């Protein structure tokens, strides 16, 4: 009986260690890292995080807007693949593309105006998407 109890205690003590050693597979770890990166990118890539950027941060602003734009395109493509429509999105997207082009060509003197136009265009794109999802 004492030997059986000792064996049970030993198994109980070593079982958690065996689970820790086995852990997640490499694929699970890679997937978790990818999901974490998506969450981080989504949290960081929002208008609020870049709205106060000055002309000196023009390149960073443009990179953020490109990621936000790509993300929105992916969401709309997913909706379209499911047979849903996003009315007025193509017009809003064309307006945003023009605004981004103007923003990329902005000078220090025209930066504030170009950024304001880009914000209005982005708001329109988002509003069209939001209308389609509600």
Please state, in angstroms and rounded to a whole number, the distance separating the CA atoms of residues 50 and 99.
16
Please state, in angstroms and rounded to a whole number, the distance separating the CA atoms of residues 56 and 71.
25
The band of 8, judged by pLDDT with boundaries at 50, 70 and 90, is: very low
Q: Which residues contact 35 (CB under 8 A, 6 or more apart)?
A: none
Domain locations along the chain:
1-42, 45-134
Taking residues 8-31, report their average pLDDT: 52
* Tens digit of each residue's pLDDT (9 = 90 or more) over 78-133: 998 998 888 889 899 999 999 999 999 999 999 999 999 999 999 999 999 988 88
| 2: pLDDT strictly greater than 90 | no
Please state, in angstroms and rounded to a whole number, the distance separating the CA atoms of residues 40 and 82.
26
pLDDT at 28: 56
| 30: pLDDT strictly greater than 60 | no
**Contact at 8 Å (CB) between 96 and 125?**
yes
Please state, in angstroms and rounded to a whole number, the distance separating the CA atoms of residues 77 and 55.
32
């Amino acid at each position: 009986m004492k030997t059986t109890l000792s064996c049970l205690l030993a198994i109980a003590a070593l079982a958690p260690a065996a689970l820790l050693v086995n852990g997640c597979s490499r694929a699970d770890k890679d997937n978790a890292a990818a999901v974490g990166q998506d969450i981080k990118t989504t949290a960081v890539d929002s208008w609020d995080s870049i709205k106060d950027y000055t002309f000196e941060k023009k390149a960073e602003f443009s990179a953020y807007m490109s990621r936000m734009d790509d993300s929105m395109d992916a969401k709309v493509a997913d909706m379209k693949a499911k047979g849903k429509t996003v009315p007025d999105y193509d017009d809003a997207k064309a307006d945003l593309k023009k605004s981004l082009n103007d923003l990329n060509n902005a000078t220090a003197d025209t930066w504030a105006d170009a950024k304001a136009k880009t914000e209005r265009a982005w708001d329109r794109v988002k509003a069209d998407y939001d209308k389609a999802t509600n």
